[in-house]
């Protein structure tokens, strides 16, 4: 009796298809390989396969690879399918998961990892069917190996209701990943609630209880849990314990900028709380650890901020790729948002992406505070103590606001629309302030 499992393979590249079929045969499988979705579907309907490998890059005027994947899941829910694709983006990974793929492999992939996944899929009981939906407004960008690992974890996590811990330095995209896990997850039909820590002790339990109530059957994000005191951690554990007996209950996602140590601990977080929240773990790499993604990210930001009207020059791109980016993707985004706004030409040049000269954020903030303090001291010394205006607060703000407006207008080259965007205020509001302070554009 032949006990060899049958693999049905659809791949768009002839040599790669032949090589993969040969390697799988050497692993002990019987393999049927084709470049046609129609042929693959015919084999599936005839019951020829125990597992399917689908290259969604195949060009087929009748259907795309994800449509075929959905068709397989609906008609043959017991038949596991693995997706192969050169489109190594988080969207591909999420679509593969949402349309029922057991696993997803971006090209080029490790054959040993693929082989291990095939073996696991053949031993895994039939998964429950899930309702599919499609979104394309995904914020994560990057084709590097570290990000491919993140995409696969995200795709797998969307198919679960287990608690998730997201770690990563400031600016790596923890809040974006949390939102994606909700939107593509099993709780997407309900509320998405974010609780930002730290909270005052006297408001802690009431605020947490309200957030839990709002997120029933949805997603509750506990943002920056490393800021919780020991007392607050104990209260949080108590509330989470009550959620264990509640149905429905929210899916829990916790975030922190602190790393998980080799022994599974996070500084300042008790082990009992960590055990509750760290069932699944997604770590977002720092930008310096995925430097190959910088150019792709930069081009994406320029296209977004300019609505396709500007492009990133090669010299500017090289300049960006050579920086350490301690503020990670957020810092890169801010630099390019400013460059796109301020660049005088359609092609962004190196001088447009000059980073602010602030090597140390804390030192920069202190120097600014000291400068303002000295200026206010000079300003206040101009009054006798008895003659201080009753609306001193308004006077002091006006004294600071006028030079700020002048500086930003100079940065914007006199363009009020650009200056308003830099300040984050309405253009009409800016115009009124310029008139009030007699500032000529």
What CATH number is associated with residue 55? 3.40.50.2300
pLDDT of residue 49: 93
Query: Where would I find the beta strands (DSSP E) of 90-217?
Result: 103-106, 164-167, 192-196
45-78 pLDDT, tens digit per residue, is 999 999 999 998 888 877 788 888 888 988 898 8
pLDDT of residue 95: 76
Beta strands 51-55 and 81-85, pairing class: parallel
DSSP 12: S
What CATH number is associated with residue 411? 1.10.10.60
**Lookup result for tokens 């994947």:** 69
Torsion angle, alpha carbons of 124, 129, 130, 135, to 10: 80
**Are both 312 and 275 inside the same structural domain?**
no
Rounded Cα distance between 324 and 260, Å, is: 22
Whether 360 is in a domain gets the answer: no
212-247 pLDDT, tens digit per residue, is 999 999 999 999 999 999 999 999 999 999 888 888
DSSP letter for each residue of 180-227: HHHHTSTTTTS-EEEEESP--HHHHHHHHHHHHHHTTTSEEEEE-GGG
Q: 399 or 401, which is more confident?
A: 401
- Which pair of tokens denotes residue 46? 């005839």
What's CA 339's distance to the chain center, in Å?
23
pLDDT of residue 96: 80
**pLDDT exceeds cutoff 70 at 370:** no
**Are both 342 and 416 inside the same structural domain?**
no
Using CA atoms, how far residue 150 sits from 114, 135, 281, 284, 376, in Å, is 17, 18, 10, 7, 49
Domain boundary residue, one of 285, 311, 344:
285
Q: Which domain holds residue 420?
A: 389-436
**Are both 263 and 169 inside the same structural domain?**
yes
Torsion angle, alpha carbons of 341, 362, 321, 315, to 10: 50
What phi and psi values does residue 10 have, to the nearest 5 degrees?
Answer: -120, 120
**Are both 86 and 17 inside the same structural domain?**
yes
What's CA 359's distance to the chain center, in Å?
26
**Are both 168 and 67 inside the same structural domain?**
no
Name the average pLDDT for the chain: 85
Q: What is the percentage of the chain residues whose pLDDT exceeds 70?
A: 88
What CATH number is associated with residue 335? 1.10.8.60
- At 344, is the pLDDT very low, low, confident or very high (cuts 50, 70, 90)? confident
Rounded Cα distance between 85 and 91, Å, is: 11
- Which pair of tokens denotes residue 348? 């962004």
Sheet bearing 51-55, strands edge to edge: 30-34, 6-10, 51-55, 81-85, 103-106
**pLDDT exceeds cutoff 50 at 130:** no
pLDDT of residue 384: 61
Whether 138 is in a domain gets the answer: no
DSSP letter for each residue of 247-293: SS-PEEEEEESSPPPTTS-BTTB-HHHHHHH-SEEEEPPPGGGGGGG
149-202 pLDDT, tens digit per residue, is 888 888 888 888 999 999 999 999 999 999 989 988 889 899 999 999 988 888
Rounded Cα distance between 27 and 5, Å, is: 10
- At 412, is the pLDDT very low, low, confident or very high (cuts 50, 70, 90)? confident
């Amino acid at each position: 009796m032949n006990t060899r499992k049958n693999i049905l393979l659809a791949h768009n590249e002839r040599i790669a298809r032949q090589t993969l079929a040969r390697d799988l045969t050497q692993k002990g499988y019987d393999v049927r390989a084709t470049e046609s979705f129609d042929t693959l579907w015919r084999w599936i309907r005839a019951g020829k396969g125990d597992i399917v490998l689908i290259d969604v890059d195949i060009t087929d005027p009748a259907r795309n690879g994800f449509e075929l994947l959905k068709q397989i899941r609906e008609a043959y829910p017991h038949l596991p399918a693995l997706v192969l694709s050169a489109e190594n983006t988080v969207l591909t990974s999420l679509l593969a998961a949402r349309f029922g793929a057991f696993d997803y492999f971006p090209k080029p992939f490790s054959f040993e990892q693929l082989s291990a996944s095939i073996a696991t899929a053949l031993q895994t009981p039939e998964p429950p069917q899930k309702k599919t939906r499609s979104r394309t407004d995904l914020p994560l960008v990057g084709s590097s190996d570290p990000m491919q690992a993140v995409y696969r974890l995200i795709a797998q996590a969307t198919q679960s209701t287990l608690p998730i811990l997201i770690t990563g330095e400031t600016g790596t995209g923890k809040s974006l990943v949390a939102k994606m896990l909700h939107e593509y997850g099993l709780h997407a039909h309900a509320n998405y609630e974010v609780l930002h820590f730290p909270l005052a002790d006297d408001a802690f339990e009431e605020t947490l209880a309200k957030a839990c109530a709002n997120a029933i059957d949805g997603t509750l994000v506990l943002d920056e849990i490393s800021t919780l005191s020991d007392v607050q951690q104990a209260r949080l554990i108590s509330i989470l314990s009550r959620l264990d007996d509640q149905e429905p209950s929210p899916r829990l996602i916790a975030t922190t900028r602190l790393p998980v140590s080799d022994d599974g601990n996070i500084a300042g977080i008790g082990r009992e709380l960590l055990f509750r929240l760290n069932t699944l773990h997604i770590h977002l790499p720092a930008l310096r650890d995925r430097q190959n993604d910088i150019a792709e990210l930069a081009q994406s930001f320029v296209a977004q901020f300019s609505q396709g009207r500007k492009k990133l020059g090669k010299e500017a791109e090289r300049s960006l790729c050579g920086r350490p980016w301690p503020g990670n993707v957020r810092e890169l985004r801010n630099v390019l948002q400013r460059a796109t706004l301020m660049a005088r030409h359609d092609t962004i040049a190196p001088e447009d992406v000059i980073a602010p000269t602030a090597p140390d954020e804390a030192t920069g903030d202190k120097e600014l505070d000291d400068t303002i303090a000295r200026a206010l001291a000079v300003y206040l010394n101009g009054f006798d103590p008895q003659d201080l205006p009753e609306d001193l607060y308004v006077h002091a703000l006006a004294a600071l606001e006028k030079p700020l407006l002048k500086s930003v207008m100079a940065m914007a080259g006199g363009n009020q629309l650009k200056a308003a965007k830099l300040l984050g205020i309405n253009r009409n509001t800016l115009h009124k302030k310029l008139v009030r302070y007699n500032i000529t554009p």
